[in-house]
A and B are shown apart, each in its own frame.
Chain A
Amino acid sequence: MMCEACWEHLEAYLDGELDGNEEKAMAGHLSECSSCQTQFSELETVRQDIAWAIENIPLPAGLENRVLASVFSGSCILRETTLDSGRPSAWKTGILLSLVLAPLLLLLHPLSVRVLSLGYGMSRVFGRGLYVLSGAIPPAWSMGLGLAGLVVMGLSMYFIWKLVQAIPVREAAS
């Protein structure tokens, strides 16, 4: 085996990812080529350095007890930072959603149907006015307005998505 081929497989050899024959060839070359052997031991040193550095990370005092307390208290006080801090409970989310949706039922009342049809007529007039107005606005302006509208739409969709994500599925199921 040549040194170039050896370099190519050095990491795979270290990681135990070579098949039997390749592994034998590598071992053979490393035993007789000191420069490749040096490279190999450098890689080994990196691995040992990492393990040694992590094994010596100091443990915070009292961590076990804090974790056990939160595990046995039904894990309600899970102190998750930033993203999860404002997570609403399934109950709250449900009540909120029904509060938002309940008024929609009122739309079925005859009076609201009348109001709606009136609103429809007015919105047609409004729409026509808007159409005429839009003809008067310079194209660059309307383009800008359109883009701003798109951005706002995108943002609101993002927030709705975030809200849906925040609903705790596990709690809702139990």
Chain B
Amino acid sequence: MAYDFEVIAKARAGDEEAFAALVKLHMPYVYRTAFAFVHRREEAEDAAQEVFIKLYRSLPQLKEVQAFPSWFKQLISRACLDRLKKGDVALLADTDIAGNSVPSVAEEAERRLIVREAIRKLNREHREVLLLREWQGYDYQEIAVLLGIPVGTVKSRLHTAREQLKKMLNPRGEPEGRM
């Protein structure tokens, strides 16, 4: 994510135009992150909306503008984790992915869908840890705090999640096609 600290400071002071710019800049990351966690369009939209409403309410309390990146990232993660905890989103079919996978899509796009489908198939515990580490880039300690579990559990869940993902992406142990 790229940050514009001048815009953040303005938005913090109550400038609505600056806040709109903030939404525009960060919406792709927020929505896609939410989608990766919950795997349903409506649920991800609601999560994105919740994130920005919380941002609007709590931004005036942010003391250091420089702290925004990690503060905002945590706000996003917590909103996603809460949603995952609240609903059985993990059990619902991913209609968006199913709807998109028509035979005519290019190979690359198909590969993306396969990866997303594989992430969706992970259970909640494994998906959480995997996304927090591989997509959001938290370290083990930060993940342990976010999830309220020991670092050892973070490591073992991450290991299982990676193993399962590898297996799903290369079912017959074929060498990687991409790269």
Q: A residues touching B (Cβ–Cβ < 8 Å)? A: 11-12, 15-17, 41-43, 45-57, 59-60, 63-64, 66-68, 70-72, 75, 78-83
B76 smallest CB distance to A (angstroms): 13
- Interface contact B56-A75, CB-CB below 8 Å: yes
- Interface contact B134-A63, CB-CB below 8 Å: no
Q: Which residues of B125-142 are within 8 A (CB) of A?
A: 130-131, 133-135, 139-140
- Measured in the bound complex, the distance between the Cα atoms of B2 and A40 in whole Å is 29
- Measured in the bound complex, the distance between the Cα atoms of B135 and A162 in whole Å is 34
The interface residues of chain A lying within 8 Å CB-to-CB of B130 are 50
Q: Knowing A71-B53, A81-B42, A82-B87 are in contact, say whether A57-B35 is a contact too (CB < 8 A).
A: yes
The interface residues of chain B lying within 8 Å CB-to-CB of A75 are 53, 56-57
Contact of A83 among B57, B86, B112, B179 (CB under 8 A): B86
A78 smallest CB distance to B (angstroms): 6
A74 smallest CB distance to B (angstroms): 10
- Interface contact A81-B169, CB-CB below 8 Å: no
Q: Does B15 contact A (CB under 8 A)?
A: no
- Interface contact A55-B32, CB-CB below 8 Å: yes
The interface residues of chain B lying within 8 Å CB-to-CB of A47 are 134
- Interface contact A70-B155, CB-CB below 8 Å: no
Q: Knowing A49-B169, A67-B27 are in contact, say whether A16-B46 is a contact too (CB < 8 A).
A: no
- Interface contact A66-B115, CB-CB below 8 Å: no
A83 smallest CB distance to B (angstroms): 6
Q: B residues touching A (Cβ–Cβ < 8 Å)? A: 16, 19-20, 23-24, 27-28, 31-33, 35-36, 41-43, 45-46, 48-50, 52-53, 56-57, 86-87, 109, 111-113, 115-116, 119, 130-131, 133-135, 139-140, 155, 158-159, 162, 165-166, 169, 176, 178-179
- Give me 10 A-to-B residue pairs in the complex whose CB atoms sit less than 8 angstroms apart, sorted by A's number: A50-B130, A50-B135, A52-B115, A57-B31, A63-B48, A64-B23, A67-B27, A68-B23, A80-B50, A81-B46
- Measured in the bound complex, the distance between the Cα atoms of B41 and A44 in whole Å is 28
- Measured in the bound complex, the distance between the Cα atoms of B27 and A59 in whole Å is 9
- Measured in the bound complex, the distance between the Cα atoms of B122 and A110 in whole Å is 66
The interface residues of chain B lying within 8 Å CB-to-CB of A54 are 32-33, 35-36, 116, 135
In the complex, which residue of chain A has the Cβ closest to the Cβ of B176?
A: A45
Among B19, B115, B166, residue most surrounded by chain A Cβ atoms (within 10 Å):
B115
Contact of A59 among B16, B20, B28, B42 (CB under 8 A): B28
- Interface contact B27-A57, CB-CB below 8 Å: no
- Measured in the bound complex, the distance between the Cα atoms of B176 and A79 in whole Å is 42
- Measured in the bound complex, the distance between the Cα atoms of B24 and A151 in whole Å is 51
Q: Knowing A59-B27, A60-B31, A64-B23 are in contact, say whether A79-B49 is a contact too (CB < 8 A).
A: yes
- Measured in the bound complex, the distance between the Cα atoms of B94 and A27 in whole Å is 40
Q: Knowing A75-B53, A79-B49, A81-B46 are in contact, say whether A63-B31 is a contact too (CB < 8 A).
A: yes
- Measured in the bound complex, the distance between the Cα atoms of B57 and A91 in whole Å is 21
- Interface contact A46-B169, CB-CB below 8 Å: yes
The interface residues of chain B lying within 8 Å CB-to-CB of A55 are 32
- Interface contact B139-A17, CB-CB below 8 Å: yes
The interface residues of chain A lying within 8 Å CB-to-CB of B115 are 49-50, 52-53
Q: Knowing A43-B162, A57-B32, A83-B86 are in contact, say whether A70-B49 is a contact too (CB < 8 A).
A: yes
